[in-house]
Amino acid sequence: MTEIQQDSDLISVTIDGQEVKVKSGEVLIDACEEAGVDIPRFCYHKRMSQVGMCRMCIVEVDTGRGPSLQPSCMMDVSEGMVIDTQSEEIKKIQDGVLEFLLINHPLDCPVCDKGGECPLQDQTMAYGPGETRFVEEKRHFEKPIPINDNVYLDRERCILCDRCTRFADEVVGDPLIQFIDRGNSTQVNTFPEDPFASYFSGNIVQLCPVGALTAKPYRFKARPWDLEEIESTYPNPLGDRIVVQSSRDQVLRLQGLDSEAVNWGWLSDKDRFSFEAFQSEYRLDNPLVRGGGLNKADKSGTGLVASSWAGAMSIITESLNGADPDRVAVIGGARLTNESQYAWAKLAKGIIGTDHVSADLGDDLQPHVLLGLPRATISEACQPNNTIVLLTPDLKEEYGTLFIRLRDAAKNLGVKIIELSPMRTALSADAAVSLHPLPGEIGNVVQAITTGDIPREIGGISGEDLSLAHSHLKDTNVFVIVSRSSMGQSEEPIIEALTSLQEVDNCRFLPLVRRANTMGALDMGMAPGLLPGRNTLSSGSSVFSDIWPNLPTESGANTKQILQKAADGDIDTLFLLGADPLTDFPDKALAKAALERTNTIISVDLFVTPSVYESDVVLPAASFLEADGSHTNVEGRITPIRQKITPPGTARPDWMIAAEISHRLGHDLGVDTPEDIWEELGSRSAVHGDLDYRKLDHLPDGHLITATGRIPFIPAEERIETRPVDSYAMRLILGRRMFDQGTVTQMSPSLTQLAEKSELRINQYDFERLGIIEGAQVEVSSGGASISISVKVDNRVRRSSALIYSNLEGADPRELLIEGAHSIDIRIDPTVKESA
Amino acid sequence: MSRLNEENLRIARQILSRYPKKKSALIPLLHLSQEQNGMVTNEAMEHIAELVEVTPAEVLGTCSFYEMFKRHPVGEYQINICHGISCHLLGAEDVLEHAEKSLGVKEGEITQDGKFSFEGVECIAACTEAPCLQVNYRYVNRVSSDEFDQLVTDLKNGQNTQIPKHGTLAKTRQNIQSEKLAGPAEVESASPPVWLQRNKEDQ
């Protein structure tokens, strides 16, 4: 929780005899810490509210009325305050507090996972009694009990500091763990049979100051003193900062790193526990080729068999040597580090000479939207009294830590959120206005809100609600967070909405992307028509032409066009860089046709995805745990990714693979290390030039790229007419769940059981109107296509619309999408029976 | 089965309508469910959680804080025998021992006919009347062993009509005469509570 800085004036206080200047209004415990005086504490955490539960931080405070004992977490500093943290009295109190805390705390430290990194253990050594005087029986509980699939609770060890319960309630809004009972019987627990089903449950394990909460993936795997650690970045769109901890070349745990600019130390469970996936037995560890492998050639010549790098490379060189650059294409690259993206962009555009390079998979905003709008950071948006307009899906599902930041902004900073999501989300309760326009109508709704030209009703939103939203745009700084909220809505209505919002004074934008390092990919030129450093092919070719000898002259194809070309037989060699068009591209049939027609498909990936399975050559790549580099988040913030372990088998960093292919094509890519790449980039790119790469590890908030305006935003020209829903149809929303069918969730044993099956979710009203039986299979159709799917009541979905999470196991709702339509109307036939 | 029944659900809605925040109705609704079942069941807590829009864990957290909400079955007549310091000095332990013998059950258990259960409690603030006890929170002062037996017999035979069955505490609250109500009778005409503004919860 952040304090609103009312008064940034410095005041002077005396701490342990030293006069120091501290910020007015600061909490005493923080002021002491900044003055270099360490105060022991258990319950206090600067990202949460103060509760004064543990009494460990008591200090002597004299405000002119004589010294008094005060918990330093519950008191703000004031002018002239004299603080003593070392007096005999304080030492006695610290000793006493610890003796009381240890009354019921079992001394099972030798078998406790926390032992060695335990604040209670450390502070007892530093401030506590050497021996206990307590001879009575300690309290006993069943130990440990699972409170969800991944977190265990040992109530005997709990010292009731309220950190986990505060986190659940205040930070993420999942108050599913509580103090139960009273006095000596107080315990933390869930409601019977109602697990702590939070997307952020791993954080409470990291928060716990004793060994009461432990995470299943780490239990009994290592002792803290055996762990080595390195600060890195989790490659998700927000670039959450992490600490990677390993022992004997095996990553055992990811911890959140408190970064003021980004994640505040929090991580979603999907990211925290996903390290398992990167070490799973299903990781690719050797090159694969179709048919004639090394030793065990597939006699039928149709399967993928193990090969060598030399073998795989010779197939690749054969297909590229003398090839027409226009018949070579690259899809993907969002998984890669900035450096690897530069290397691949250089290989594709500068060496091979094709501009058919696209990191996007047809489900993100276009480069001109991502790069062209005046950009804001998360912290700039989350300032008191700002207004934030959300054109996003449920952020809790897809952008966990951003959800936490926005929730804090709305609850504690007075930020007004105007939510324009297709359905009710986890932020709706805290939003000033929460509106759910019908899919396809967002452009019309936003236009009414920004202009104040309010119709009686539009897009399913009443004039009254539109006026209310309009009123929040006045006399304030407006920030817009935008993403492709639903695949059931095309990009045009969003661009139309952004065009209206651009007209609002001082409006700034934070466009979100679906995949990890998509922003880096754009900045490194992995999009048609782009070169690194936000140069275009036309404006920047002179900058790069001496080191990128074969630069194409004409702008190439985006992913959709590449797949179209491939399906028409116009692509001979297709690189898939961690891309799985069969799973992710909205038009599955097109992706399938493209992969079938292409002669040579070369995949660089970590796992065998459906698209990798269709490839001819598969090269194993190193994951973010196994290679050095950097990452660019949605704000344009560059933070380091650091190698902690060695890659499995012969897997290599992606940039090295690009350099190898280039070498075999007779060109030296000119890079031997990631630093080389950065030096080359820095010398050419004005955008990246002012970053001192060697200092990146020491920049707590990373390096922010601020250049805008180099790639202009292309506003919408035509207005999309509003389209009413007829009473038999429903407007389709395609959402995404945190735990999904994706490889990361599926390859992590701790996460796979959390993924659900796909269902059609509709409002109770529509459910009754259609006369459906809950859980029944129904036939859902749009255009000519139909799928069979079970139905569930979900009142977060508004009337006349229907939600399917598209990334779950079961019916594939991509079948229902209609090429070129701004929104999709579906019809539900409730009469189809289970057997059908 | 132990969710609020239809009649009580109607009362619950009425109670909810009295508060500007639904959460405020949590404790009155717990009383209501105890009135219905003689205890607060897990199902009732889930039902209340739905009604006041909090999680069941939050309802349990509140419910378990208060001793008067029973989450285990008790007899129709729950006898709380005080063993605070005054009662202790004046023979509370004897009363407890006698109760165990006379009712034939241990502390916390229910007699076979389901009528009685008892437990020792901390001071019930009637030290001048020690040793004292409560039957369903109605005071019985200066009890001797004989008087205890007489009390039990009277309750068993229905001769003591002063004391209602366990859980009916809320009954009196439902019938407060309008002139005895504290504050404005109409919620609409009341000014918003100060804490609402202080906590900025209505923003």
pLDDT tens sequence across A797-831: 999 999 999 999 999 999 999 988 999 999 998 87
- Domain membership of residue B194 (yes or no) is no
Specify the range with the lowest mean pLDDT, choosing from A171-180, A421-430, A590-599, B134-143: B134-143
Q: Is pLDDT larger for residue B190 or for residue A453?
A: A453
Same domain, A479 and A574: no
Task: Count up the domains in chain B and report the number.
Answer: 2
Of A178, A181, A414, the CB nearest to B57: A178
- The amino acid present at A15, given as its one-letter code, is I
| pLDDT exceeds cutoff 80 at B189 | no
- Domain membership of residue A295 (yes or no) is no
Same domain, B118 and B150: yes
| pLDDT exceeds cutoff 80 at B114 | yes
CATH number at residue A249: 3.30.70.20
- Domain membership of residue B164 (yes or no) is no
Quote the domain boundaries for residue B14. Answer: 1-68
Token digits of residue B192: 């918003």
Q: In the predicted model, what is the mean pLDDT of residues B183-192?
A: 64
Show which of A101, A129, A146 is a domain's final residue. A101
Q: Which residue of B has its CA nearest to A184?
A: B65
Same domain, B81 and B122: yes
Same domain, B58 and B81: no
* Chain A residues close to B56, C-beta within 8 Å: 191, 194
Same domain, A814 and A751: yes
Same domain, A495 and A559: no
Instruction: Please give the span between the terminal C-alpha atoms of chain A, in angstroms, as a whole number.
Output: 53
Show which of A511, A532, A562 is a domain's final residue. A511
Residues A266-311: tens digit of each pLDDT: 999 999 999 999 999 999 999 999 876 555 556 566 789 999 999 9
Return the closest-CA partner of residue A356 out of A334, A319, A324: A324
CATH number at residue A48: 3.10.20.740
Q: Are B54 and A175 an interchain contact pair (Cβ–Cβ within 8 Å)?
A: yes
Q: Tell me the C-alpha to C-alpha distance, in Å, between residue A37 and each of A46, A90, A119, A258.
A: 16, 14, 17, 20
pLDDT for the residue B147: 92
Show which of B120, B141, B157 is a domain's final residue. B157
CA A106 from chain centre, in angstroms, equals: 38
Burial class, A564, CB count within 10 angstroms (exposed 0-12 / middle 13-18 / buried 19+): middle
Q: Are A192 and B42 an interchain contact pair (Cβ–Cβ within 8 Å)?
A: yes
Of A174, A182, A192, the CB nearest to B65: A182
Same domain, B64 and B82: no
Q: Tell me the C-alpha to C-alpha distance, in Å, between residue A201 and each of A168, A235, A266, A655.
A: 8, 20, 10, 35
Asked whether the bond before A40 is cis by omega within 30 degrees of 0, the reply is: no
Show which of B119, B140, B157 is a domain's final residue. B157
- Domain membership of residue A834 (yes or no) is no
Show which of A496, A511, A526 is a domain's final residue. A511
The H-assigned helical ranges of A552-667 are 559-567, 581-584, 588-597, 610-613, 654-664
Q: What are phi and psi of A645, to 5 degrees?
A: -130, 170
Three-state DSSP at B23 gives: helix
Three-state DSSP at A93 gives: helix
CATH number at residue B5: 1.10.10.1590
Burial class, A740, CB count within 10 angstroms (exposed 0-12 / middle 13-18 / buried 19+): buried
Task: Count up the domains in chain A and report the number.
Answer: 5
Show which of B24, B48, B68 is a domain's final residue. B68
**Contact status, residue A409 vs residue A388, Cβ threshold 8 Å:** yes
Same domain, A258 and A232: yes
Top residue of B41, B55, B58, B199 to mutate, by most chain A CBs within 10 Å, is B55
Residues A327-337: tens digit of each pLDDT: 999 999 999 99
- Domain membership of residue A788 (yes or no) is yes
Token digits of residue B76: 């129709």
- Domain membership of residue B180 (yes or no) is no
* Chain B residues close to A175, C-beta within 8 Å: 54-55, 57-58
For A811-828, letters b (16+ CB in 10 Å) and e give: bbbbbbbbeebbbbbbeb
Same domain, B13 and B49: yes
Q: Are A191 and B55 an interchain contact pair (Cβ–Cβ within 8 Å)?
A: yes
| C-alpha neighbours within 13 Å on the C-beta side of residue A118 | 24
Q: Tell me the C-alpha to C-alpha distance, in Å, between residue A626 and each of A279, A521, A623.
A: 10, 20, 5
- Domain membership of residue B168 (yes or no) is no
- Domain membership of residue B142 (yes or no) is yes
- Written as one string, the DSSP assignment of A115-133 is TTS-HHHHHHHHHS-SS--
- Domain membership of residue A108 (yes or no) is no
Same domain, A693 and A558: yes
| C-alpha neighbours within 13 Å on the C-beta side of residue A159 | 27
List, as ranges, residues 22-61 from B with C-beta within 8 Å of A: 42, 45-46, 54-61
Residues A692-712: tens digit of each pLDDT: 888 999 998 999 998 766 888
Specify the range with the lowest mean pLDDT, choosing from A194-208, A696-710, B108-122: A696-710
Same domain, A543 and A646: yes
Residue A215 pLDDT grade (very low, low, confident, very high; cuts 50, 70, 90): very high
User: Which distant-in-sequence residues (6+ apart) come within 8 Å of A763 by Cβ?
Assistant: A793, A794, A795, A797, A798, A799, A801
pTM of the model: 0.92
- Domain membership of residue B200 (yes or no) is no
Residues A656-673: tens digit of each pLDDT: 999 999 999 999 998 899
CATH number at residue B84: 3.40.30.10
Cα–Cα distance, A562 to A604 (Å, whole number): 18
Residue A55 pLDDT grade (very low, low, confident, very high; cuts 50, 70, 90): very high
Q: Tell me the C-alpha to C-alpha distance, in Å, between residue A270 and each of A399, A625, A745, A752, A755.
A: 11, 16, 7, 10, 11
- Domain membership of residue A117 (yes or no) is no
CA A194 from chain centre, in angstroms, equals: 27
Same domain, A593 and A697: yes
Quote the domain boundaries for residue A378. Answer: 373-511
Handedness of CA A796, A800, A805, A811 (dihedral sign): positive
Cα–Cα distance, A535 to A632 (Å, whole number): 17
Instruction: Please give the span between the terminal C-alpha atoms of chain B, in angstroms, as a whole number.
Output: 38
Same domain, A272 and A355: no
Q: Is A179 on the interface with B (CB under 8 A)?
A: yes
CATH number at residue A351: 3.40.50.740
Cα–Cα distance, A378 to A509 (Å, whole number): 10
Of B46, B54, B60, the CB nearest to A180: B60
Residues A530-562: tens digit of each pLDDT: 999 999 998 888 899 899 999 999 999 999 999
* Chain A residues close to B58, C-beta within 8 Å: 175, 178
Same domain, A329 and A193: no
| pLDDT exceeds cutoff 50 at B98 | yes
Same domain, A187 and A91: no
CATH number at residue A798: 2.40.40.20
Looking up tokens 């909405």, which residue turns up?
A: A497
| Neighbour count for residue A255 (Cβ, 10 Å) | 20
Residue A687 pLDDT grade (very low, low, confident, very high; cuts 50, 70, 90): confident
Same domain, A572 and A691: yes
Of A177, A181, A194, the CB nearest to B64: A181
Same domain, A495 and A522: no
pLDDT for the residue A525: 94
Cα–Cα distance, B108 to B118 (Å, whole number): 6
User: Which distant-in-sequence residues (6+ apart) come within 8 Å of B17 by Cβ?
Assistant: B187
- Domain membership of residue B97 (yes or no) is yes
- Domain membership of residue B172 (yes or no) is no
* Chain B residues close to A190, C-beta within 8 Å: 57
